[in-house]
Structure 1
Amino acid sequence: MTTDWMADLPENARAYLEGRKLDEVECVIADLPGIARGKAVPASKFARQSKFHLPDSIFYQTITGDWGEAAGAEGFIERDMVLIPDMSTATAAPWTADWTLQVIHDAFDRHGEPVPFAPRNVLRRVVQQYHEMGLKPVVAPEMEFFLIARNLDPARDIEPMTGRSGRPAAARQAYSMTAVDEFGPVIDDIYDFAEAQGSEIDGITQEGGAGQLEINLRHGDPIKLADEVFNFKRLIREAALRHNCFATFMAKPIADEPGSAMHIHHSVLDLETGQNIFSGPQGGETDAFFHFIAGLQYHMPAALAMQAPYVNSYRRFVRDHAAPINLEWGRDNRTTGIRIPLAEPDARRVENRIAGMDCNPYLGIAASLACGLLGLKEERRPHRQFRGDAYEGEGDIPRVLGEALTQFEDSTALHEVIGPEFARVYSIVKRAEYEEFLSVISPWEREHLLLNV
């Protein structure tokens, strides 16, 4: 690291530290679930280091902390990775007690090659394939989450948080400003933290669930937006903790409430001209527009394990419950898995409504872009546009994680885009996680089977 490294910080980070002494730098990287792993080091030490090391085993760990046997032929030796800071990601960690920055790092092996199963590298690999075709993908994620009462006992049902009025948050209040006001103190901290980090929020709305909110982000580069979602998850959790509640990004935290999605809007630009390839010279829909939709329809079932990565994820896909059950496409139709929002030709885009908020943002966006890219390459045509209520149609996506993993493992076309070595490791880790779940006997089984079968 150069001695004047702080002069090269992004503007928002420099503004945050103006007139203050930096105490600590958090060196972070996302693991497969999207948890921030890394080290916190004194600012003086960070200034002297150009890299640091973590074992590659962080990518073999399940969400429970157990391990998948994914280390390869040499066995589980926990080889060190070389982690290099991407200083363009340096942002404030304003919830800490001292003046702290966090910096996202990229993972390389000892030969300087990107570690293929590091999630940020997976997304970069997909984006690079667009660039090689002379294309630039653009995304805009929407983040849904619940603010809930503190829950210290996993055996207890999750309950909505108590709002400013002293009453529990109510359901079926979508877009209510009064409902948003109930969470005013938490939202104020979210805005303040986001401003300190230089993240631009496009809007916050109340969703249909009790205590469920949605944050929209401005469209932009997929890697930058995945970084923002990664940072936002931590930011929102920290804001909630300041007000004696939890923020959860579970896909389906409360049985009778809607689930939480990470809807992803996509457009694709010509690298040379900057024009949206989904719109022709006269503003009409192009072949590329339909090929992209077809790629989502044909390949998304195989990619679903990256966008719905847990057993709980599949509880969200419930008919008539604000989540799609199929991959039909329609114009301005929120019942379809693939929606074409109202937009001018230069902003024409495709919305993937399948992905859950519980996914790793790097992997969820990579999976969606990979499916669209395959559609562009294969020049497929989508099914006929769906008109009406798509909940009345047939479900055509996997309903359980085991089925989704089987389709993921069988899709060599998808593996070539996201990387065969990533696909191998991801499959092993998720299978281990699924086996862990299957070994747990649920209260439902004890209640209904114990004395009746």
Structure 2
Amino acid sequence: MSDWLTKIPQSARNYIEGRRLDEVECIVPDMAGVARGKAMPASKFARQESFYLPNSIFLQTITGEWADNPAGAFTEPDMILVPDFSTVSAAPWTADVTLQVIHDVFDQQGRPVPVAPRNVLKHIVGLYAERGWRPIVAPEMEFFLVARNIDPNQPIQPPMGRSGRRAAAKQAYSLSAVDEYGKVIDDIYDFAEAQGFEIDGILQEGGAGQVEINLAHGDPVRLADEIFFFKRLIREAALRHDCFATFMAKPIEGEPGSAMHIHHSVVDAQTGRNIFSDEKGRETPEFLHFIAGMQNHLPAAIALLAPYVNSYRRYVPDFAAPINLEWGRDNRTTGLRVPISGADGRRVENRLAGMDCNPYLGIAASLATGYLGLVQGANPRAECLGDAYMSDDELPTNLGDALDEMVASQPMREVLGAEFVAVYEAVKRNEYKEFLQVISPWEREHLLLNV
């Protein structure tokens, strides 16, 4: 691999130009979207023929425990890691000159490991390709900047702004609010530029210290890679300025949650035409089939879009999070929104995913539901023309119920892969069991002396 630097993106070449490259981080996204892997001197990376990690990394829970392997024996065989040089990017926050590269994972027979989240997304994109389609997505990332919290027993607080006051809520779209933590935003821009990422826009959301970053539309795998990298760079930018960045779905009581809205369109792979619009710019049957697929199959995908017990605290009325499967044009109260656009840009926005989801799995699950709709040819319910917040709740209300829905859905098991669904369920059941053993302050306050 002595010539590997000739294969990397121009942004990475620009970053190391005229400098000695010290280290390379070999990264695999795990089930939670956490970066697993190893760092090594750049000279060793150039000489290394093969890279390995045990397959048990996909059985590790968010708490660091290990789920039981649904396949049986826990022997931890090595997987073969293959660097995807198109993902090479700078790690501009490190003391040394460092590049990071995402690796694909294969078993020892050379087959893609079916439980690896990046492989799951590639599989879904491949299903579209088999039909002559190419999915396009555009994600929106919401997150909170918060004061350092080193005691988990203490509530999360908004960060202190440059004015010396804590960030205020209910300041959506306020430029002054963004300026309060402008130094963090400046570093986010600088890190993103060094890594070759294009930010479509940054704005203040409705929560105290809540920020939204929009990314330009494009290939699902590439954008999942960018979100994976973005979460790290945003955390690093925050740490430079004595605060934390959190992607929890609901970090602060009484504040809105953080979503990862996903815009979807599908183009004909040969012509590049958006299949949601016909030659005269009108909506096509495929457009309605895609929406119907989301309505019919999203309940079985919620465990991937809302993967933690905290995720379901976002699905409450009156906090700007849709808890329905209604669809509507330019209607932000619906779970499925059709934004204003021209015919070429016609798309469907899934507003249900939380920012805490693994971006590979969140995008894969969302695309999977639309794919099933296209293949099955169903039609959606009538468009919602009013306030969909007044509709009946249609989503699972906790992680256990969401996992039950996922496992009970044969179409979702087939499209995501039975082995992946089994491993994902094992990891999440383990996490849910751990959570149920924790006694909360609410229980101590209201039940200790009253029941």
TM-score of Structure 1 vs Structure 2, range by shorter chain: over 0.9
2: CA distance, partners of 1:21 / 1:398 = 52
Partner in structure 1 of residue 422 of structure 2: 424
**Aligned partner of 2:307 among 306, 309, 314:** 309
Per-residue deviation, 1:446:
1.2
SS at match of 1:265: strand
Per-residue deviation, 1:196:
0.2
Gaps of 5+ in 2: none
Query: 1:368-395 CA deviation, whole Å, 9 max, x = no partner?
Result: 0000000000001101000111111111
Partner in structure 2 of residue 178 of structure 1: 176
Per-residue deviation, 1:51:
2.8
Gaps of 5+ in 1: none
Partner in structure 2 of residue 452 of structure 1: 450
2: CA distance, partners of 1:429 / 1:5 = 36
Conserved in 1, the CA contact under 8 Å of 2:15 and 2:90? yes
TM-score by length of 1: 0.99
The answer to whether the aligner puts 1:392 opposite 2:390 as a matched pair is: yes
**Aligned partner of 1:122 among 120, 123, 136:** 120
2: CA distance, partners of 1:388 / 1:266 = 23
Conserved in 2, the CA contact under 8 Å of 1:50 and 1:85? no
1: CA distance, partners of 2:103 / 2:25 = 10
Partner in structure 1 of residue 273 of structure 2: 275
Number of residue-to-residue matches in the alignment: 451
Per-residue deviation, 1:8:
2.0
SS at match of 1:345: coil
Partner in structure 2 of residue 247 of structure 1: 245
2: CA distance, partners of 1:270 / 1:71 = 38
2: CA distance, partners of 1:89 / 1:166 = 39
SS at match of 1:370: helix
Query: 1:314-359 CA deviation, whole Å, 9 max, x = no partner?
Result: 0001112110011100111111100000000000000000000000
Conserved in 2, the CA contact under 8 Å of 1:60 and 1:71? no
Per-residue deviation, 1:63:
0.5
**Aligned partner of 1:318 among 313, 316, 319:** 316
2: CA distance, partners of 1:230 / 1:71 = 27
Per-residue deviation, 1:206:
0.1
SS at match of 1:215: strand
Percent identical pairs in the alignment equals 68
Conserved in 1, the CA contact under 8 Å of 2:70 and 2:422? no
Conserved in 2, the CA contact under 8 Å of 1:269 and 1:276? yes
Per-residue deviation, 1:106:
0.5
Conserved in 2, the CA contact under 8 Å of 1:50 and 1:84? no
Query: 1:117-163 CA deviation, whole Å, 9 max, x = no partner?
Result: 00000000000000000000000000000000000000000000001
TM-score by length of 2: 0.99
Partner in structure 1 of residue 36 of structure 2: 37
Partner in structure 2 of residue 332 of structure 1: 330
The answer to whether the aligner puts 1:11 opposite 2:10 as a matched pair is: yes
Per-residue deviation, 1:50:
3.6
* Matches for 1:26-425 after TM superposition, within 5 Å: 26-70=25-69, 72-73=71-72, 75-425=73-423
Q: Which amino acid aligns with 1:25?
A: V
Query: 1:221-261 CA deviation, whole Å, 9 max, x = no partner?
Result: 00000000000000000000000000000000001000000
SS at match of 1:210: coil
2: CA distance, partners of 1:67 / 1:155 = 24
Conserved in 2, the CA contact under 8 Å of 1:51 and 1:85? no
2: CA distance, partners of 1:292 / 1:244 = 44
2: CA distance, partners of 1:281 / 1:45 = 55
Per-residue deviation, 1:71:
5.2
Conserved in 2, the CA contact under 8 Å of 1:57 and 1:71? no
Per-residue deviation, 1:49:
1.6
2: CA distance, partners of 1:390 / 1:32 = 33
Conserved in 1, the CA contact under 8 Å of 2:326 and 2:336? yes
